[in-house]
Structure formats: structure tokens, C-alpha cells
Structure 1
Amino acid sequence: MNSIPSVNLNDFISNDPIKKQQFVDQIGKAYEEIGFVALKGHFLNEQLVSDLYSEVKAFFDLQAEVKAKYEIAGIGGQRGYTSFGKEHAKGKKEGDLKEFWHFGQYVEEDDKLASEYPNNVTVTELKRFNDVGKEAYKMLEKTAQYVLRALALYLNLDETYFDAYIKNGNSILRPIHYPPIKTEPKEAVRAAAHGDINLITLLMGAQGRGLQVQNNDGEWIDAIAEADELMINVGDMLSRHTNNKLKSTIHRVINPPKELWGTSRYSIPFFMHPVSDMKLDVLDNCIDAAHPKQFEDITAGEFLHERLVELGLIKD
């Protein structure tokens, strides 16, 4: 496969059973073959997207010492600000050429999870930053819920199989700023080749070149979404849960051509995580003689901790 398939969520939420089934088949096939789709019909409107980018750019334009006060020690970068070069891909020493912010879950009616998750961090310099971030978080979470419902049907599970696991899940909205490149990078790129940790990732800001996906032949292909599309990919948790039936595809963000080094790049992924005690044990209906069980049993919380250590965000 040499391009990213495009699907429309409106087909799934329509009252037309034929369109709904076509969506399920299309997205399932795409995730088996390439692990990525471009999705139209999501729940973000143009104004919300515009407002979010305005607020995100305003934050990253703040002075370094102002941003630094929002970098919270001891929480593995799970809320607030993470400064330039702090995160690196698994197996890499060089820090990625980016800085980012994390919005986390807004827990409802669950005191245990409310105490388990770090609090969201309020930016006092920007009055709308946190409200706009929360609204975008909610709309992306809603979109992700419907995508997972389609995948549940594709996997011959109950349509709402994932609902209980993602309600108040440990999901993250991550606005990323890739600053202008000022000197020749030795080994670092804006985001080194990696797979995502979570169930699925919904990516805003995949317009234009930069994001590349590795297909089954080992070739790097550009993942370029239309202005009204989200790029959505399978993460390692879902791949593991499905015995690698659904592919968590390696992807990267390459450095721009030298003539564009002076420009910033912004990207806003939403990492859909389940609650920490979800068992990621391989589903029984993804195991057969031709596809023996590939992964040991583990919970989502245990898996996340392992990966944050590998990424250099927390110390074991």
C-alpha cells in the first residue's frame, strides 16, 4: 500500500446499515494493511480547530522562563509543558527536536481515577488556552469512541466493547511545536521513527509534508491529510490486544528541506488511552493455529509505565 486510505465517519453514524458496514470493512482493512487512515466527518468544527491553533501558538511564543514554570517535576511529563529535546524515541539517545504540552483527562464521577491522574495545569497568561484545549479534548475523545466502536465490530466484539475502558481513560492531547532549525542537526529529527503506545492516535495538523509512515515493504510514504481530515493510527496497546491483527505502524516526522529550516511546524495528536487496569491480554478470537499468541498478559497501566521509562520521561 502506497497511500493512506480515506474514510468518512458519517457513514458509520448514519442510519444506513450498508454504509455502516462498508465503513467497518474499510477501516478494518486499512488497519490490517497499513495501520493508518485519514478520517472525515469527525466532531471538530473549523472554528474550534482555528481557536486551538491560535492558543497553542500563543503558548509556545511565550518566553522560555514563562513556559518553564509549567514544567512539572515527578509526573513523567503527563501534564503541562515538556521542554525542547527532553523526549526521545525508544532506542534513541538523541532528543527529538520539539517541545510540547499535555492536556489530560477531565475525570467525571470517579474519585479513584481523579486521585490517580495528575491535575491539568492552568496557564494564567492565556485566558482561553485551557477552555479551548478542554473542548478539543472532548471532541477528539468522542471521535475516537466511534472509531473504536467500528473496530470492535470488525473484530467480532460487541460494538460498545471499548466504551467502559475508555470512559475516564488516561488519554492525552498533545500540542507539539517543532521550532525552526538553526544549525545542522547531527542525528536528531523532529520525531524519530516510533510506534505509539496507546489504543489509537488522532492527529491534527498532518497537512503538508513531514509525517511519514513505513509500509509493509519497509518504504517510507508521506501521510498527508486533507484540511478537513484527521490522520488516525493504531497504537501498540491495540496491536497487542489484537495479536498484531491491527498494525501499529512505525512513523516519523522528518526535518524539512534546508530552505524551510526557518519555519515552525505545529502538530496536535490525541492519544486515546484506556483506564490503567484494562487488560491488554490477546483477544481469544485473534488467536488460531496460523496466528499463535504473540504477547504476554499485561495491563495498560503496566505497559504505559514500561514505555515512559523507555522514552526517557520517567526513571524506573
Structure 2
Amino acid sequence: MNWNSLRDEVFKAFQEYGCFEVMFDKVKPRALHEEMKEIFNFPLEFKMSKSSTMFGYLGQNPALPLYERLTIQDVLSHGVAKKFANLFWPDGNPIVCDMVLSYSKQLSMLEKTIRRMVMEILGVEKYIEEQNESSNYVLIFNKYRKPTRDESGIGLAPHTDKNILTILFQIQVNGLQIQRDNGQWVDVEFSPNSFLVLVGDVFKAWTNGRLHAPIHRLLMSEKDEERFSIGFFTFPKEGYLVNVPKDPVDEDHPLLYNPFDGIKHIQFYKSEVGQRAGHDSLKAYCGV
């Protein structure tokens, strides 16, 4: 398939489903996962001492009892991977640092390629450099344990991602579901070594609603083994004002969103007002 045909397919998938599956063999997520899995097996007290919403360990949340995660914020910035490794391995871990950096660099190139495809379709290629320079990358390792008989199987409640794009790799156990427009939940069946690319609220807004940000959730059952996944997230830099270009706006597509700070939208979403707005938090925050 040539570039133009592939570009069209990507755009159509984002419009209809808000996501698509891609095969990408330039990284080794399973090898990286095996290295990072060691951290989840560390004593709870030690993990909790490294707890942070932006950097390090997060878990033991009563609202999400099945869920734990390790976060590397701004993963491609100089020294960040080393700083993360030093949190959990006092003598450092050069192997993990190299694997984290290699994985993140390759996925950042894939992400930029996908964004370029969308921007070419919309005729806004002139913003590509600005988009790249105003973005940060976050790497998150997720773990979900199976529920006990008395627990809910909800690993993550229904939500849309609050970022630009997400590239997700799932390790063995399924459980991710996407909600269609008719309210039906559809299981995501990952092919071996494939990635799922999802549109986030920020990219939906920047394209003036031309793309669909899918509502998704994670379910676990008593029969499941532990589930692991690796998420690569693109966010706008703090303080950057997301502004819908003039090109996607016309008589058939009137302006839907006022300029907004993507990070402040996340803070709004976590507020009482934002929680009441639910999946419409972006519209409540900056809708025209």
C-alpha cells in the first residue's frame, strides 16, 4: 500500500473508530516488559515510597484496586530514564535505561508519522514542526491483577484519553474494550506484536472534532492471569495553548473549541465539575 492510500485508511479509522491496530517490528516491548516487571514485584512499602502521579509508582488506589502503574514523564528528555532507574535500582540499571530510550525513540517516530498523515489530509502540514516541538512523551507500564470473588472486575473505568495520541502494547491477556456510538462494548483482540493507536481528546479538539476520541475501559475476570500493558502517550507541553487551525473550520465544520491548555484540562477533568461533565469534560472546559 502506498503512502496516500495508507494515509487515507488511517484517517478513516480515526474518524469512525478513533483507533486502529498497527504492526511495528522496530521495538521489543516484551523484552522491556520483562525488565520492568521486576519493579512490580518489589515490596509494597518500597514501591509506595517511590509514589508519584507523574513520576515513579502509583497504585493501591481504593477506587482502582486492581491497577498499578509505573510512569516516566517526559521520557525522551536528557537524563530522565536514568533518574527513573535510579529510583528503583540504587546502583542504576543501564540496560533498562537503554531499552526505555530505544523503545520511546522508535515509538515517537511512529507517532509523528501518524500525526503527519492526519495533518496532510486536513491540509495543515505547516503546523507539523510546531506540533512536534510542543509535545512531550510519557511512558507508562500498567499492571492489573485479577479480582477476587467479591471485587468488581473493572481495571479502568470508561474514559477517553486526555492527551494527543496513545500507542498501546498489550502483554498476552486481553480485557480492553471500546464503546461504539450505539453504546455497545467491543472487545479489542490484539494480534501478536501489534500496537493499538488511539485518538485523545486533545487531538480531537485540535482537528476541530474531525477525529473520534473513543471511550474505552479495561475489564478483568477471576479466570484471567495478571495483565500487563505498555502505553506511550503524547501530551502537549505544559503552558502550550492548543488552538484549532483555521483550515479544518468551515461552514460545514464550525469552530467547536476555544483555545485551551491541555494540562489544565486534565486538572479540570479531575475536579468535581469536570467529573460531572464526564466524557464531555473537554466541551465543558473549552467548548464554543
TM-score class, shorter: 0.7 to 0.9
Deviation digits for residues 44-86 of structure 1, max 9, x if unmatched?
2xxx3232110121111111112122114xxxx1111112326
**Matching residue of 1:16:** none
Distance 1:255 1:120 in 2: 29
Alignment map for 1:72-111 (pairs within 5 Å): 72=52, 77-85=53-61, 94-95=63-64, 97-106=66-75
- Is the 2:244–2:257 contact (alpha carbons within 8 Å) kept by the matching residues of 1? yes
Distance 1:121 1:164 in 2: 31
Distance 1:62 1:134 in 2: 23
Instruction: Indicate whether 1:59 and 2:28 are aligned.
Output: no
Q: What's the C-alpha RMSD, in Å, of the aligned pairs? A: 2.6
**Matching residue of 1:32:** 15
Q: Among all aligned residue pairs of Structure 1 and Structure 2, give the percentage whose two residues are the same amino acid.
A: 21
**Matching residue of 1:174:** 140
Deviation digits for residues 79-138 of structure 1, max 9, x if unmatched?
11112326xxxxxxx3362010011224658xxxx9xxxx64622167233432232222
**Matching residue of 1:290:** 252
**SS of 1:142 mapped into structure 2:** helix
Letter in 1 for 2:231: P
Letter in 2 for 1:305: Q
**Matching residue of 1:146:** 113
**Matching residue of 1:3:** none
Residue number among 230, 248, 264 corresponding to 1:302 in the alignment: 264
**SS of 2:5 mapped into structure 1:** helix
Q: Which runs of 5+ in 1 are unaligned?
A: 1-10, 12-18, 87-93, 312-316
**Matching residue of 1:248:** 213
Distance 2:187 2:84 in 1: 34
Structure holding more strand per residue: 2
From the superposition, tell whether residues 95 and 21 of structure 1 become closer, same or farther in structure 2 (CA, over 3 Å): same
Alignment map for 1:259-274 (pairs within 5 Å): 259-260=223-224, 263-274=225-236
Distance 1:141 1:62 in 2: 29
Aligned residues: 268
Deviation digits for residues 275-314 of structure 1, max 9, x if unmatched?
2343322232222223322222212333243345568xxx
Structure holding more helix per residue: 2
